[in-house]
Amino acid sequence: MVAVLPDPGGFEITSNIVIIGAGACGLVAGMAAREAAFDGATILLLERDKSPSGSTALSSGFIPAAGTKLQNEKGIEDSPERLEADIMAKAKGSAHFPLVRAVTAEIREAIDWLSSVHGLPFILIDGFLYPGHATYRMHAMPQKTGAALQAALLDAAEQCDLPIAGGHRAEILYRDGQGRITGVGVRTDTDELQMIGCDVLILACNGYGGNPDLVKEHIPEMAEAHYFGHRSNQGEAVIWGQKIGARLADMSGYQGHGSVAWPHGALISWALMMEGAVLINKDGERFSNEHEGYSEQAARVIAQRGGIGYVLFDERLLGLGRGFPDFVDAEEAGAVISAETPEELAQKLKIPLSGLEDTLRHIQDCHTASSVDPFGRDFTTHPVLNAPYKAIRVTGALFHTQGGLDVDERARVLDQNGIPLPNLLAAGGAARGVSGPDVSGYLSGNGLLTAVALGRIAGRQAGRMLEAGE
């Protein structure tokens, strides 16, 4: 049950700040709130899973940030304004600019803060560029996984003495006659309903990708797609928001991915595409410009016969792929198909040899600039594919929704007239993102960008609201 009920007049437990969700967004919000709130302020994180994981653990764990100390140490010139421009360009100007400006400025400070204050051992991914990014700005844990990022944030939260109640699923918001959220009704793993009062509530409970009805309503083209996110992403923030008169924004925006190994379910890094790999269908033909971005490729792969495509690469790119744990998992599961010749590869993939040979010939012609790719991809910047060939069967998937509650630059939830609701904040997947209303607007890393940056903004804002008695 997801509901909004009148204030009950008393609560079993109270906390000054309650945060729903203990992924990257909620954990960062909690740490920021701890710093901003007055001494002795109580903070409680509610997490529906017994062990916090969610979308952060399922992600690649790469966070784009510009102008960081790590970039400066490596001699990489970048700035929040440059990241801001890349985000707006990818979204063709449709992203909400005030929010874009706020999170691109915040993320630089957030990465440096998580590193210097909380000890997260960030590295900079500098072996390749993701589509749409002007320079190397992806920050990650040394393991290059979202699970490692989640673990590091959990360790940092523990050092801040942030209490996390796992196995506590928030179902009810309690609201008084003035529109203030006074508390939360939480279903425990023993099916007990606990009523927890609060002064400020932060919604960090992610998006609605795990709710088929909401996906069908807002993203119909992905209604039948494989969902690669966390099933707990049921859209509670959106449902609560609708019940209290909050404004929704960019609900049709989402992050897709066009290369999930099938049926193995492992993510195949888009780095392979950026360094020379191509996507082909069951006819052995390419069907898009792979360099436009992996998000929009999801629907394109699904639109192919059988909803299936193949990542076509070679021995050189196999070495690159092995630098990513998800790829290693896929290879160990038998997802990588090898062949010495086009004939052998066509036979193993059960695709027409003529189509595969035409594709390989076209790539060669584009590489030598004797032909122009009709999809607009430039093949002259990387080596051409050579035998022995490799392939992985993939499908497109829905990863993360990018629409949600409309918020201002201080993470305050807005009503239908754009006025902040009292004591309610939202960040990460619970709030609108910075990708605009279309899948093509998703720039690599936008999800974790808003989770961390807006989470930190929300935490600080919650602390300020307590100090001011708002």
pLDDT of 230: 80
Same domain, 203 and 323: no
Given 398, 415, 448, the domain boundary residue is 398
Given 377, 398, 419, the domain boundary residue is 398
Same domain, 64 and 11: yes
* CATH number for the domain that contains residue 184: 3.50.50.60
Average pLDDT over residues 101-117: 98
- Report whether 405 contacts 259 (CB < 8 A): no
pLDDT of 231 over the 90 cut:
no
Backbone angles phi, psi at 344, to 5 degrees: -65, -40
Residues 382-422: tens digit of each pLDDT: 999 999 999 999 999 998 999 999 999 999 999 999 999 99
Model confidence at 294, in pLDDT bands (50, 70, 90)?
Answer: confident
Same domain, 193 and 279: no
Same domain, 294 and 168: no
Calculate what percentage of the chain has a pLDDT beyond 90: 86
Query: pTM for this structure?
Result: 0.90
Q: Specify the number of domains making up the chain.
A: 2
Residues 66-79: tens digit of each pLDDT: 999 999 999 999 99
Q: What is the DSSP string of 258-325?
A: EEEETTT--B--THHHHTT-EEE-TTS---S-GGG-HHHHHHHHHTSGGG-EEEEEEHHHHHHHTTSH
Alpha helices in 177-270 (DSSP H): 212-218, 236-244
Residues 357-379: tens digit of each pLDDT: 999 999 999 999 888 999 999 99
Please enumerate in sequence order all residues whose Cβ is within 8 A of that of 191, keeping only pairs 6 or more positions apart, or say none.
Answer: none
Same domain, 284 and 241: no
pLDDT of 469 over the 80 cut:
no
* CATH number for the domain that contains residue 324: 3.90.700.10
Same domain, 170 and 296: no
Residue 45 bridge partners (DSSP): 19, 164
**Average pLDDT of the chain?**
94
**Is residue 263 reached through a cis peptide bond, with omega within 30 degrees of 0 on the bond before it?**
yes
Give the domain range for residue 326.
254-398
Given 378, 398, 418, the domain boundary residue is 398
Q: What is the DSSP string of 391-446?
A: EEEEEEEEEEE--EE-B-TT-EEEBTTSPEEEEEEE-GGGB--SSTTSGGGPPTTH
pLDDT of 298: 92
Please enumerate in sequence order all residues whose Cβ is within 8 A of that of 31, keeping only pairs 6 or more positions apart, or say none.
Answer: 118, 156, 157, 160, 162, 456, 459
Same domain, 392 and 412: no
pLDDT of 270: 92
Calculate what percentage of the chain has a pLDDT beyond 70: 100
Same domain, 191 and 123: yes
Same domain, 176 and 236: yes
Please enumerate in sequence order all residues whose Cβ is within 8 A of that of 304, keeping only pairs 6 or more positions apart, or say none.
Answer: 281, 282, 287
